[in-house]
Each structure stands twice: as structure tokens, then as C-alpha cells.
């Protein structure tokens, strides 16, 4: 199972922050929410998104992925003065600290400095540390822009309709549509930049690495060793280690450990999944061994991680 398939199969966005943003005139939004991932779909007009000193002009139909947690700005011009600052928890203030939530709210999940403006966009923010999403996007740049024509316009319009309705199940439907938009955008970016791939994206193009990735993703519960993976692929351990490191960027077993931890962090969202069940599902012989590895990866026990990240949901 490749990471994109897992993204579609597993629980992803949970009450993601989604808005239709409408802006007019000169404007600039300083996003400091520390979110791990944001999807922006430009509907009408234009905008400039600036991150880490690089500016990207967005036109109608463009979809962009922004990897956090570092801040970025989006506005009519990279040099425009800041009108609003988005803080963690999606708290919105002016540059001077004034609360702007009521002033810039315009109906059902519509936000901006005008009710009708020439610049409109959809913004979907994954606010929690969605670890498997991080695994999927780790081969992408800080800002990945997919130009118009490469992501379904119908999908984006369907998300817009779902965002701006109060129909039953709106939240879950918007979450799922945001997930699908993310996957389609990642796919499109990979197809447009075949030579810029890193991590599992690059590994997927190398037959040896792709074979190992398929084993890891489809059977993470198996007791894989370098020798058993090499045997399954009918190659030597040295060849496997060399090819995998060259394409993916690290040792096969390190990748497997990281993938197991990513899966485990997601499974903790399910209250029915005990530590023992998760340990078995991701290939650990005992809950103790799993808890030790998890704490080494995240700095907190599985129980502590669940309480901090999911109990509030």
C-alpha cells in the first residue's frame, strides 16, 4: 500500500479548518498558525504567497500546498502591509492585536475584508500533527504549486459548496473532500516534477526501492529485517541498502521504523485501539517494545500522545 493509498483509506482530516476567503483592494494575511499543512485553491482573481523569502503568484485554478509549521504570507502583493495575523487555533487579529473574528466573518464559513471581492480562494488547514500526511508530503517542497488544469475544477467547486452549507454532515463531508483534493494535488505535483522527487516519491521510481516500500506499506506488521526484505526481492542486502539509501535518502529499516510510528500515531485516534493492538499492528512483539520506540520517536508515551492530540476530539 503506497502512502497516497493509505491517505485515502485511513482517517485524515478531523474537523479541519476550512474557509472560503474573499479579499478586495490591497491586503495581506500573515499566517502564523503553525499548522503542519494547508491547501489553498485560488478561485478568482490573483494572490501572492510568500514563504521563506520566495514568492509565488497564484491564478484562478491554481492549487497550492504549504508545509508548516513556519509562517507564510498571502496577499495581493508581497510588499503589502499586514491586515490580519492568523495565530494557532485560527485566532485572527490585526497587526496591532485587535480581534478580527466578527469584523471579517461574512456568512457560513466565509471570511475576508469584503462580502464580494475579486479575489476568492478556498483554504483548508490541517491543524493537528497529521503524521501520515507528513509522510505523504515529505518529498514535496515547502510550497508546491499546481497550476490550473491539473486538478479537477469540479472537485474544488464541490468542496466550495460543501464549505458554505449548513447541511447535515457538512463537517465530515468537507474533511473527506479536502483529503481527496490533497491527494489529487500531490499526484499532480509529482507528475509535473518527476526529477524533483525526494523520499518515498523518488523511491517509487526505483524498482528495488519500490519493492521494499510496497512490502513496508502493505505489511508493516511483519517482522522485517534487511535480510528478509532482500530475500523477498531476490537481491543482496548490500544492493538493497545501497539502492534504498540512494533513492529514498536513508536506510530501509530506519524508513520502516518511521513508517510504523506514523501509522501508530494515527491509530491512536481510535479509542478502541489499545496499545497492545497497535503494537501488534505495526510489528512490535510487545506493548513495552512499542511504547519504548514510540517515546523515542515522539518524546511522549502512546497514552500521552493520545491524550494530547485526540482526547479533545
Say which residues have a Cβ less than 8 Å from residue 311's Cβ, sequence separation at least 6: none
**Helices 237-248 and 226-233 sit at what angle, rounded to 10 degrees?**
100
Higher-pLDDT residue of 6 and 242 is 242
Say which residues have a Cβ less than 8 Å from residue 68's Cβ, sequence separation at least 6: 33, 34, 35, 36, 37, 38
Is residue 196 very low, low, confident or very high in pLDDT (cuts 50, 70, 90)?
A: low
Q: Which of 227, 211, 224 is nearest to 282 (CA)?
A: 224
- The number of angstroms, rounded, from the C-alpha of 210 to the middle of its chain's C-alpha atoms is 22
Strand partners, 40: 64, 123
The predicted-structure confidence for 71-110, as pLDDT tens digits, reads as follows 999 999 999 999 999 999 889 999 999 999 888 988 888 8
- Alpha helix (H) ranges present in the chain? 3-9, 131-137, 153-163, 170-192, 199-203, 207-218, 226-233, 237-248, 252-267, 275-281, 287-298, 302-309
Strand partners, 38: 66, 125
pLDDT at residue 264, rounded to an integer:
93
pLDDT at residue 71, rounded to an integer:
96
Is residue 292 very low, low, confident or very high in pLDDT (cuts 50, 70, 90)?
A: very high
Residue that has been written with the C-alpha cell 521504523 in this structure: 257
Please tell me what DSSP assigns to residue 107.
Answer: S
pLDDT at residue 234, rounded to an integer:
97
Say which residues have a Cβ less than 8 Å from residue 70's Cβ, sequence separation at least 6: 51, 52, 142
Q: pTM for the complete prediction? A: 0.81
Distances (CA, A) of 277 to 130, 194, 221, 274, 295: 21, 38, 11, 5, 17
Map out the domains of the chain with their CATH numbers.
Answer: 3-192 (2.60.120.280), 200-309 (1.10.10.60)
Phi, psi of 59, rounded to the nearest 5 degrees: -120, 165
C-alpha atoms less than 13 angstroms from C-alpha of 149 in its C-beta half-sphere: 2
**Helices 170-192 and 153-163 sit at what angle, rounded to 10 degrees?**
150
The predicted-structure confidence for 209-261, as pLDDT tens digits, reads as follows 989 999 998 899 999 999 999 999 999 999 999 999 988 888 999 999 999 99
Is residue 203 very low, low, confident or very high in pLDDT (cuts 50, 70, 90)?
A: confident
Q: Which of 272, 269, 278 is nearest to 308 (CA)?
A: 269
Amino acid at each position: 500500500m503506497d502512502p497516497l493509498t493509505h491517505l485515502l483509506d485511513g482517517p485524515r482530516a478531523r474537523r479541519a479548518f476550512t474557509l472560503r476567503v474573499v479579499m478586495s483592494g490591497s491586503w495581506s494575511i500573515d499566517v502564523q498558525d503553525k499548522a503542519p499543512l494547508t491547501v489553498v485553491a485560488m478561485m478568482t482573481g490573483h494572490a501572492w504567497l510568500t514563504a521563506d523569502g520566495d514568492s509565488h503568484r497564484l491564478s484562478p485554478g491554481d492549487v497550492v500546498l504549504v508545509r508548516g509549521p513556519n509562517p507564510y504570507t498571502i496577499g495581493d502583493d508581497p510588499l503589502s502591509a499586514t491586515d490580519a495575523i492568523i495565530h494557532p487555533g485560527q485566532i485572527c487579529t490585526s497587526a496591532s492585536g485587535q480581534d478580527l473574528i466578527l469584523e471579517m466573518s461574512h456568512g457560513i464559513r466565509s471570511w475576508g475584508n469584503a462580502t464580494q471581492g475579486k479575489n476568492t480562494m478556498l483554504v483548508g488547514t490541517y491543524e493537528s500533527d497529521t503524521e501520515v500526511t507528513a509522510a505523504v508530503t515529505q518529498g514535496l517542497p515547502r510550497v508546491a504549486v499546481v497550476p490550473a488544469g491539473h486538478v479537477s475544477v469540479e472537485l474544488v467547486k464541490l468542496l466550495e459548496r460543501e464549505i458554505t452549507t449548513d447541511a447535515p454532515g457538512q463537517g465530515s463531508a468537507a474533511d473527506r473532500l479536502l483529503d481527496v483534493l490533497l491527494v489529487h494535488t500531490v499526484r499532480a505535483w509529482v507528475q509535473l516534477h518527476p526529477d524533483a522527487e525526494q523520499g518515498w516519491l523518488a523511491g517509487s521510481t526505483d524498482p528495488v526501492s519500490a519493492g521494499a516500500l510496497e512490502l513496508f506499506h502493505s505489511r508493516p506488521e511483519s517482522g522485517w529485517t534487511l535480510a528478509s526484505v532482500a530475500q523477498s526481492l531476490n537481491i543482496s542486502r548490500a544492493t538493497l541498502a545501497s539502492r534504498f539509501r540512494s533513492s529514498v535518502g536513508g536506510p530501509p529499516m530506519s524508513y520502516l521504523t518511521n513508517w510504523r510510528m506514523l501509522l501508530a500515531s494515527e491509530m491512536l485516534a481510535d479509542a478502541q485501539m489499545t496499545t497492545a493492538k497497535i503494537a501488534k499492528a505495526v510489528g512490535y512483539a510487545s506493548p513495552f517494545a512499542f511504547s519504548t520506540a514510540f517515546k523515542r520517536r515522539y518524546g511522549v508515551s502512546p497514552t500521552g500522545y493520545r491524550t494530547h492530540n485526540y482526547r479533545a476530539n
